[in-house]
Structure 1
């Protein structure tokens, strides 16, 4: 499968390179099919196409080399100008760092300046035109490519940050579930160990009874020894799950829901209790889970909805018992304190699941909050023992018992966005999907921050660098173009037609290049110093050294 995917990727890249070559070669190849078909020209164009093919072939591995090759190819064929923006963009998109391309552009600018102004002797206007082409056809597309690369890096960093946050959330949920299972193990250790101790005590009493037959006394001794051994194994297996710094609860172990509600009323809460007799049908673990549901819901209502009335309803529904604790909207808002992580409700969801039920939590339309649990009325196999993590239902498998409710009203952040109390993050969700460990949230957040900073910098550079470079070019070109060629308006107005050239005052010592296609014999051109191009403004025409016409050049 992996080989097939790689093969498709290679084919896709080859087709992309072929399309790139065909697109950029079209302006160059056009000359091959249009007359005249001179031999040297054909050979030169064929060499240009070959150079372009080489540039395309190396553009993925060495994009700067490909760009330099295309720019140099413009000396061979001017139609390479159409390929420069494309390869400049790809250089920005494919280069990991900006330094090689920046050095290449600087070298091209310096080499082009030396070639045109030094060796070829072209004018300042031609140099300015070529420098502008390099700026807007080379540097600007490269900056756009850099921005697109940084934007893609930002998207990838955001994805990795979200994955790290999701792993952290799942890890937190799993830790809460494990703590709840350990708490259940502690309760089993205390209650079952107590019962086993009583059995051993009664067996010991039988063992020393005078009216018991010797064989029965021996059997009682074996029973006592077996119970003692079982108690020790219980201490060894479940006792290790005790949290060494866990505080002992101050609530009585046999506290009923009625006593729990009475305690809340004594604390000042307005609580209505209905259907408490339904709890008599529940097996011990489910009854304890129902007690925990009511206790956790009342605790949260007292904190997040102080002063709001609370209703506790227990109702038999076939082979299920429904437990619902609903509080109204708080009249004065929640009590001050640190924000909740929702771990209490998450632990409660695990407790209910282990009892064979389903927990759901959510906001009410009127602004209140509801905690509902559906528990089995009859004990299921293994419900009163600590289940393993590989069961067929619950969060570990993504399936709930038949007819159960799904926890669908929890928000992603695990916090309530209105009055009530928070929803446990990931309640009823898979705690581990077998993913390999990835980045920690702190590292992913740092990468995301750096990617955002690079994108902002790339955007500012893409927008500001062309304008700044254009201004620099203008500041370099303008003094060169206007040196000794500026004729001001007053001097032009004072020049009389018919005067000898030597008699004219204010005539500059150097002429400007005439506009393309407007050169006339005996005419001289000067500029008024317009910025930044210093274009010719005045035309003075002489015949035998005498001024015969003067005019202003429009545009």
Structure 2
């Protein structure tokens, strides 16, 4: 009987192999090749005595057969049942139980719990039938129950490890999908916020334009320009109506404050335990309302992130004009993280800030070092 009790370390070996091969080749195919070669190496240890103990295969012929069986592991991700059937063939023909460990792991890993259980039951039943066939190499001094105490745990353990890895992959994928969904939702919310700000700021200007053109139309009632002013007033009014139709308002909400709201925001952060050093050029007050709203949102999100990840640390906020660009820099030190007390965060704040800045033609970068975190955003001033 050829039994290699390698299943307890199989999952760890696969995980470490994945890390090495992905850094080497960047493809799961390299990991499959290494697993097939590893299985072949384990079975090759039996080549010298395989023909004499189990069947009439010569050494070279046995090597070819074992290599073909291990080659089935190359398609274990898409077709794990092929390696499973090859493993059953090896049990009945060569009395070899090494390949079935890899096959059961692959079925559980890539087809889930139900397929893993079905494959394990089929393996145990097939091994039991083979044990009852005359000529099966029963270990000396072992009864049927003793033999099954070795065969059954091999299959069950391999399948359980594969199913556990399958569930781990599902959890990881679900976590990634949730994070992606949170980022997309944050971006969509920021787009809605930008649209509402557009409605508030542009709508106000259109209202002023409408009123001013109506006043001018009344003043020029007896002149040749009266009709032109009336058309201008009607055009401004229609533009305002179109703006209301395109940008749907959902609930009552005030527009995003401008740079005049930053001192109050810094004071609020200080009361919460994270003091802020605010340095702002006077040129920032000359920005358009939408750009001022973007500055406010970037600083607001940075202060929120700092409160989560660096509570109690001083936050430096610098808003400076540099030629045609406005530069917003927010930085804070990072405290030593206490194990087991990671802050709750969806990780979508940076995407939200980036969407707001990008919509106005700017850029945003976030840089993390060992002891500090800095966000730098640039906006065109014009």
TM-score surpassing 0.5?
yes
Q: CA deviation digits over 1:315-362, x for unaligned, max 9?
A: 33444332223345689x9xx998343444442232222233333445
Are 1:207 and 2:212 an aligned pair? no
Separation in 2 of the partners of 1:61 and 1:184? 56
Q: 1:308 to 1:212 in 2, by over 3 A?
A: farther
Q: Secondary structure at the match of 1:208?
A: helix
**1:201 to partner: Cα distance:** 1.8
Q: 1:318 to 1:374 in 2, by over 3 A?
A: farther
Corresponding residue of 2:242? 233
Q: CA deviation digits over 1:477-525, x for unaligned, max 9?
A: xxxxxxxxxxxxxxxxxxxxxxxxxxxxxxxxxxxxxxxxxxxxxxxxx
Separation in 2 of the partners of 1:264 and 1:314? 17
Q: Secondary structure at the match of 2:328?
A: strand
Corresponding residue of 1:289? 294
Q: Secondary structure at the match of 2:318?
A: strand
Q: CA deviation digits over 1:97-147, x for unaligned, max 9?
A: 2333433444555676xx9xxxxxxxxxx99837569966x8736643553
Q: 1:361 to 1:185 in 2, by over 3 A?
A: same
**1:378 to partner: Cα distance:** 3.6
Are 1:217 and 2:239 an aligned pair? no
Q: Secondary structure at the match of 2:331?
A: strand
Q: How many residues align?
A: 308
Separation in 2 of the partners of 1:68 and 1:337? 50
> Gaps spanning 5+ residues in structure 2: where?
1-28, 73-80, 105-117
> Gaps spanning 5+ residues in structure 1: where?
32-48, 71-82, 116-125, 380-555
Map residues 153-552 of structure 1 onto 2, 5 A cutoff.
Answer: 153-209=163-219, 211-213=221-223, 215-238=224-247, 240=248, 242-244=249-251, 248-249=253-254, 255-258=260-263, 260-261=265-266, 270-280=275-285, 282-299=287-304, 301=306, 308-327=313-332, 339-361=344-366, 370-379=373-382
CA contact (8 A) 2:276 2:315 kept: yes
**1:156 to partner: Cα distance:** 4.2
* Aligned-residue CA RMSD (Å): 5.0
**TM score, norm. by length of structure 1:** 0.44
**TM score, norm. by length of structure 2:** 0.60
Q: 1:93 to 1:265 in 2, by over 3 A?
A: closer
More helix, by proportion? 2
Which structure: larger Rg? 1
Separation in 1 of the partners of 2:166 and 2:343? 33
**1:29 to partner: Cα distance:** 3.9
Q: 1:104 to 1:347 in 2, by over 3 A?
A: closer
Q: 1:300 to 1:94 in 2, by over 3 A?
A: closer
Corresponding residue of 1:451? none
CA contact (8 A) 2:123 2:155 kept: no
**1:178 to partner: Cα distance:** 0.5
Separation in 1 of the partners of 2:139 and 2:303? 79
Corresponding residue of 1:521? none
